[in-house]
Amino acid sequence: MRFSRKHLALPYALFLLLLVVLPLVVIVVYAFSDSSGQPTAENFIRFFTDPNTLGTLFYSLVLALITTLVCLLIAYPVAYSLAFSRIKRRSVLLLLFILPMWINFTLRLTALKELLTLLEGNLAYHPFLNSVIGMSYDFLPFMILPIYNQLERLDRSFMEAASDLGASGFQVFLKVTLPLSIPGVVSGIAMVFLPAMTNYVVLDMLYNSTYIMGSLIGSYFAAYDWHGGSMISLVLLALICLFTLLSGNSEEKPEGGRRL
């Protein structure tokens, strides 16, 4: 066989097949079989009839939704002020906002936990509130960055044209800037919403004993119930696919890392 440049992809293709595709196939097989290897739909039925798992699904969705909303409400003004500021060293300022992404998230949560304990006395009093605060603190940079990138590359002449044509500052924002920034908002939501549904470490560290989708997988894992765990993974995977398709095939490439 003659050397061709495309053969260089073979090791990686093989790796992806073995450690990305095959594990997912195994998950599907395990989700629809019982411990003796017989095919069954029991795991599936159990998931959708068990009030506990359905409650967990609901709780995860609500928690993720509120976290995303909080992140958006904080990140948009920040990204906007940053993108339209006249500060000379804007890139340094942006780095300050995304720098926390590079510090281990468990250590950052430790810091937050100490501060919250000081403020609240006992973290157990407000488990839901603390989880929202923890998640928002954790994921905020992932919302700021895409919105900033989008606002930054907007053609300023659109806004100038709007105000020349008599629009007030607020109208310019509402009719021009905001609609044009939606792609950044969408990719920010995608980068916060999905992790917020599964990152159970935040709940763990802030003494929230309620389960979310991620911790449910963990609990099945701890009980050596591979079949039940696979079913939860599959449901989660389906939700992720659905959400990824819904948020559009945004060409926004993740920049500077990501975490789930």
Partner 1 sequence: MKKKAFWGILILALALLLIYAPILILAAYSFTDATSIGFHGSFSLQNYITLFTTPELKDMIIGTLILALAVALISTVLGSLGAIGAFYSRNRSRFILGTVNQIPVVNADVVTGFSVCILLVVVFGMSKDSFIPLLAGQVALCAPFVYLSVLPKLSQMDPSIYEAALDLGASPATALWKVVIPVIRPGILSGFAMAVTLSLDDYFVATYTKPATFDTISTYVVNATRGAQTSVKTALWALSTLLFVVVLLLVLIGQRGGKKQERKEAEA
Site for partner 1 in 189-248 (CB under 8 A): 194-195, 197-198, 200-201, 204-205, 213-214, 217-218, 221, 226, 229-230, 233, 236-237, 240, 244
Q: Does 95 participate in binding partner 1 (rule CB under 8 A)?
A: yes
Tokens representing 202? 């935040």
Q: Does 45 participate in binding partner 1 (rule CB under 8 A)?
A: no
Q: Does 74 participate in binding partner 1 (rule CB under 8 A)?
A: yes
DSSP state letter for 150: H
Please tell me the count of residues contacting partner 1 according to CB under 8 A. Answer: 88
- Give the orientation angle of helix 226-246 with respect to helix 42-49, to 10 degrees: 70
Q: Does 1 participate in binding partner 1 (rule CB under 8 A)?
A: no
Radius of gyration of the chain from its Cα atoms, rounded to whole angstroms: 22
CA dist 198 and 212 (Å) reads: 6
CA 103 to chain centroid, in Å, comes to 17
CA dist 149 and 144 (Å) reads: 9
Residue nearer to partner 1 on the CB measure, 67 or 198? 198
CB 67 → partner 1: shortest distance, Å? 15
CA dist 185 and 76 (Å) reads: 8
Q: Does 44 participate in binding partner 1 (rule CB under 8 A)?
A: no
Q: Does 12 participate in binding partner 1 (rule CB under 8 A)?
A: yes
Instruction: Rule CB under 8 A: choose which of 77, 125, 163, 175 binds partner 1.
Output: 77
